[in-house]
Amino acid sequence: RPRPKKPLTIGFAQTGAESAWRTANTVSMKSEAEKRGIDLKFSDGQGKQENQIRAVRSFITQGVDAIVIAPVVETGWDPVLREARRARIPVILTDRSIQTSDESLFSCFIGSDFYEEGRMAADWLAKHTGGKGRIVELQGTVGSAPANERRKAFAEGIAKYPGLKILDAQSGDFRRANGKEVMESLLKKHGRTIDIVYAHNDDMALGAIQAIEEAGQKPGKDIVIVSIDAIKEAIQAVVDGKINCTVECNPLFGPKVYDTAAKLLAGEKVPKKLFNKDELFDHTNAATVVASRQY
């Protein structure tokens, strides 16, 4: 394949370093760049959009070949993206998309499909429980996009199965400690009527597992547990039979992002919306991937 004479320079405006998922995401971007000999200009936005905008501007002045943004918020990107277009630098959005009146301002979006994740969880449940069971839902941080999407998709997914009922829903803030605490309360409130736990992320599920064990029940057996993210620890829990299923929210964006960037720079057309492939892990396949899991 034709190698560019000069190594590619790509600017990446990351959101921050707020979670293990994000760290894995950063690592993937960096290590993959190293592997491919790409000069990656990395910038940490510390959770602030203005920082990211500033970073993007500096990428433009430095004349990078492509810009990758993991936007902190969905809105307010138009001005800086216009500047990038003026400088003819393609922009790839990752992880979260943006809201804009002019879709041509960015080349494509590569992300995790939170909605799809929620739907996959619902489908798996429907299939493996025979469409029956009382569910408690551990929601993510109120108002956040993944929590919103995963809640909506799941609700819509189980709507077709009248036997699947949401008994209770509380926010565990995506945190392990809160997941545990909420689960403890719900266990006491609903006694042994809980059949299923649906957690918006693995951390909360892992917290809930502890609560269930401390209540003298067997997670994965007495109570079916479904969660999202598929971090290594959760896949191990699937292997151990404590989590029944975890839907991947793959943070390893590196390969896909750089592939896409190369295509864009070569003038190829790419779809506007690309999803990083998310898999689903349950007892059938967890054991095979757990060893090779990096995060």
Site map 93..132 versus another protein, x via CB under 8 A: ------x-x-------------------------------
CA–CA separation, 21 and 252 (whole Å):
9
Nearer to another protein, 74 or 279 (CB): 74
Cβ-based neighbours of 11, under 8 Å, separated by 6 or more:
40, 41, 43, 55, 56, 58, 59, 62, 64, 66, 67, 68
Biggest CA pair distance of the chain: 67
Q: Does 241 bind another protein (CB under 8 A)?
A: no
Nearest residue (CB) to another protein, 81 versus 126:
81
Strands 280-282 and 245-248: antiparallel
- Nearer of residues 12 and 258 to another protein, judged by Cβ: 12
Asked whether the beta carbons of 227 and 234 are under 8 A apart, the reply is yes
Distances (CA, A) of 98 to 76, 106, 115, 126: 8, 10, 16, 32
Q: Closer CB to another protein, residue 53 or residue 257?
A: 53
Interface with another protein (CB under 8 A), residue from 9, 31, 97, 144: 144
Using CA atoms, how far apart are residues 247 and 208, in angstroms rounded to an integer? 17
Write out the binding residues for another protein, residues 50-69 only, by CB under 8 A: 50-51, 53-55, 57-58, 61
Read off the amino acid at residue 21.
W
Closest CA to 287 of 246, 236, 243, 249: 236
- C-beta of 61: minimal distance to another protein in Å? 6
Interface with another protein includes 17 (CB under 8 A)?
yes
Least separation in angstroms between CB 12 and another protein: 11
- Are 280 and 124 a contacting pair, CB within 8 Å? yes
Could you tell me the smallest distance in angstroms from the CB atom of residue 267 to another protein?
A: 28
46: contact with another protein by CB under 8 A: yes
Binding site for another protein (CB under 8 A): 14, 16-20, 23, 26, 42-44, 46-51, 53-55, 57-58, 61, 72-76, 78-79, 99, 101, 139, 142-144, 148, 168-171, 173-177, 180-182, 184-186, 188-189, 191, 203, 206-207, 210, 214-216, 233
